[in-house]
Amino acid sequence: MIAFVTGKVAGLAPDGAVVEVGGVGLSVQCTPGTLAGLRVGAGARLATALVVREDSLTLYGFADEDERVVFEILQTAGGVGPRLAQAMLAVHPPDELRRAVASEDLAALTRVPGIGRKGAQRIVLELRDRLGAPVGNAAAAAAAPAPAAGEWRDQVASGLSGLGWGQREVDDALSAVAPEAEEALAAGEQPNVGVLLKSALKSLSRR
């Protein structure tokens, strides 16, 4: 198992990054929140999980070890594969997932594209004793490094598209969260992609 990768970020894409390690470029699938903290040419250290299939090897990257651990635990629930587990972490930081499962907050779980009410009930039933109690990382996740001004729109759009939303829904969600991003810019702060993505998903769930 590849536990982590450390190296220079050689490239960024809507759903992942290329990290140069020892002269080799490793393609790592990441959530928008993790990607928001990476910069091309800068150094990075990502906790990783390697998913092996008959026809592919996919490396998933995470901002910290807690995200990686939760990613692994989520896949022990029936019907949850690596892509759905990553989608869950794109919508909710690890501690929010723990709280949602512990409190049987089905509404929070069904905000993840691909999870219906029955699927949320199954996740609560199977993971309640496995995820454990919140460990206090939600605030840190919310405070992840933010993108430069103007980049937030592309990154949020890419995140929503990667989660399966169509262009019309993406455009509507961007319009809904634009005031939040503009408020941050007006205060001299950079918009946080992870926070904006959550707000965008909440606006879509109310449609």
pLDDT at 132: 82
pLDDT at 138: 44
56-62 and 24-29 as β-strands: parallel, antiparallel, unpaired?
parallel
Q: pLDDT-based confidence at 183, cuts 50/70/90?
A: confident
Q: What is the architecture, at CATH level 2, of domain 4-62? A: Beta Barrel (2.40)
pLDDT at 141: 42
pLDDT at 144: 46
- The mean of the pLDDT values for the chain is 85
- Cβ atoms 26, 19 nearer than 8 A: yes
pLDDT tens digits, one per residue of 61-104: 999 999 999 999 999 999 999 999 999 998 898 999 999 999 99
CATH number 3.60.150.10 is the correct assignment for the domain at 65-141: no
Task: Measure the N-to-C terminal CA separation of the chain; round to a whole number of Å.
Answer: 41
Listed as own residue / partner, the contacts of 77-85 with beta carbons closer than 8 Å and 24 or more positions apart are 77/122, 77/123, 77/126, 77/127, 78/122, 78/126, 79/119, 79/122, 80/123, 82/49, 82/51, 82/58, 84/112, 84/114, 84/115
The domain limits of the chain are 4-62, 65-141, 146-205
Check residue 146 and report its DSSP letter: P
pLDDT tens digits, one per residue of 96-152: 999 999 999 999 999 888 899 999 999 999 998 898 888 764 444 444 444 454 577
Q: How far apart are CA 22 and CA 187, in angstroms?
A: 41
C-alpha distances out from residue 38 to 46, 104, 107, Å? 10, 33, 31
Q: How far apart are CA 47 and CA 180, in angstroms?
A: 30
Q: Is the pTM of this model over 0.75?
A: no
Give the containing element (helix H, strand E) for 168. Answer: helix 167-186
pLDDT at 87: 92
